[in-house]
Amino acid sequence: MRNKPIFQVRKPLIILMCLLVLTVVAGITVSCGKTGENIISVSDVRPAVVPVDVSLSDREMEVGICTVHEITVTGGEKITLRSSDDSVAAVDAEGKITGIGVGECDITARNEFGKTATCHVTVKKSVFLTIDDGPLGCCSSILRVLRLNDVKATFFVVKTNNFDMVKIIHKEGHCIGLHTYSHNLNVCYASEYSYYAGLEKLKQLVEEKTGERPDIIRFPGGTNNTVMNWQGMRRLVSGLDDLGYRVFDWTISSGDAAKERISSQQATGNVLRGFRGNVNIILMHDWEPTPKALGVIIPYLREKGYTFDTLDHYAEHSFRAKTWYERSQGDKVIPCTAIVLNPSEMTLSPSASQRLIAKMEPETSTDYLRFVSDDVSIATVTLEGVITGVRPGTTKIRAIASSGEESVCYVTVA
């Protein structure tokens, strides 16, 4: 019994000492958690936040009344933009500055660190130069005058033999608008569908030349043209609006579209006598009087406190479209109640085509129509309602009014 191993004798003592050590360590840990004044844990270490400066893409800007221009802001995650005078220019959260009234103000950007940057904005009276019916033979001369005067214009183009000039117009920073594929008003306005078909062809040509989809439109003869009836014109404007286009007429005409040709002096006088108010849209054409007239008009208007801009910067959705509605029938919406198709059934061979005629009731409806094929692998349909057979089979061609009314033509391709 005297010779028992030592570890058997000391085991309880070792266990007691271990428990004592654990208790002391736990106490120290608790104590550190309570005081925390001199001990910093790794999880409490945070990188210092370094304030960043805010900057603007422009420190000075000249804009016209009723125009919108963007300013780019960088520096910080929470940036506010404010105008020192909203009656002169307003600014939104995206940096879009809108000219309101003649004068000067500051647009200030402030980030979350209190850092600021300022753009000084001068707002002047606006002029929009618009050139219709080109590009024709005078286009190069017009571009030369605009270049010499550092002015941009809006060109409402048609399909011409000189159409390659559209690429040059776009490259020089001018705005391209759509006029019509054919300026023959009897062709353009033969039906609402004829207008859409011509517009689509012209849009594709402009996209091929510029790489951009134009969304500015001017009707040949304007919204008050004498060829399309007012019901059809209202439907065209409504449909174009839904498709994302903006329609523009004008406030002043140079008179160069008259049957009797006028001189550049006469065109200049017609423009300068017609100026009213702070926003003016000038109608001119790609014809002989225009280059010389522009050489006089531009410096004269600059001296009178006007600035020149393009219609893609116009602040409103469109010019005179709503006014035209009010003149024709007010803002009253007349939905389509029925669509009559002629024929309601047709049989085609592959590659053969036939026109589907659709009439809305009542005739005064403000709706517009679109055609849709249920299966384009069997038969296709154009904006004008021309159906073309593709392969044997049956499908439906639907005429759909913008208010939802629908009618069906049953098509068999054999």
**Measured distance CA(392)–CA(343) in Å, rounded:** 19
CATH number of 55-124: 2.60.40.1080
SS3 state at 122:
strand
Q: Quick one: pLDDT at residue 1?
A: 41
pLDDT at 231 > cutoff 80: no
Q: What is the phi/psi pair of residue 232, to 5°?
A: -65, -40
Domain 125-329 has CATH 3.40.640.10: no
Summarize pLDDT for 206-221 with one digit per residue, the tens.
999 999 999 999 999 9
Q: Give residue 264's identity as a one-letter amino acid code.
A: S
Q: Quick one: pLDDT at residue 241?
A: 80
pLDDT at 315 > cutoff 50: yes
Q: Quick one: pLDDT at residue 72?
A: 95
pLDDT at 62 > cutoff 50: yes
More confident site: 161 or 45: 161
pLDDT at 42 > cutoff 50: no
pLDDT band at 19 (very low <50, low <70, confident <90, very high): low
With vertex at residue 269, the alpha carbon angle to CA 267 and CA 275, rounded to the nearest 5 degrees, is: 105
SS3 state at 403:
coil
Instruction: Indicate if 338-413 has the same CATH topology as 125-329.
Output: no
Fill in the DSSP letter of residue 49. P
Q: What mean pLDDT value characterizes the chain?
A: 86
pLDDT band at 242 (very low <50, low <70, confident <90, very high): confident
219 and 212 in contact (C-beta within 8 Å)? Answer: no
Q: Which range scores top for mean pLDDT: 185-189, 304-308, 385-389?
A: 304-308
Q: Quick one: pLDDT at residue 263?
A: 94
pTM: 0.74
Summarize pLDDT for 88-103 with one digit per residue, the tens.
999 999 999 999 999 9
Beta 252-253 vs 279-285: how paired, if at all? parallel
With vertex at residue 83, the alpha carbon angle to CA 81 and CA 89, rounded to the nearest 5 degrees, is: 120
Instruction: Report domain extents, the chain.
Output: 55-124, 125-329, 338-413
**Measured distance CA(143)–CA(134) in Å, rounded:** 12
pLDDT at 73 > cutoff 60: yes
Angle 139-148/289-303 helices, nearest 10 degrees? Answer: 20
Summarize pLDDT for 358-397 with one digit per residue, the tens.
998 988 787 888 888 999 999 999 877 889 999 999 999 9
The least confident of 50-54, 211-215, 350-354 is 50-54
pLDDT at 28 > cutoff 70: no
**Measured distance CA(216)–CA(304) in Å, rounded:** 28
Listed in sequence order, the residues at least 6 apart from 161 whose beta carbon sits closer than 8 Å to its beta carbon are none
CB atoms inside a 10 Å sphere around CB 232: 16
* CATH entry, 338-413, from 2.60.40.1080, 3.40.50.2300, 3.40.33.10, 1.10.10.10: 2.60.40.1080
Q: Quick one: pLDDT at residue 295?
A: 97
115 and 89 in contact (C-beta within 8 Å)? Answer: no
Paired residues of 132 in beta bridges: 156, 285
SS3 state at 237:
helix
**Measured distance CA(110)–CA(96) in Å, rounded:** 16
CB atoms inside a 10 Å sphere around CB 377: 11
User: Of the candidates 372, 340, 373, which has an alpha carbon nearest to the alpha carbon of residue 357?
Assistant: 340
Q: Which tokens go with 219?
A: 């009707």
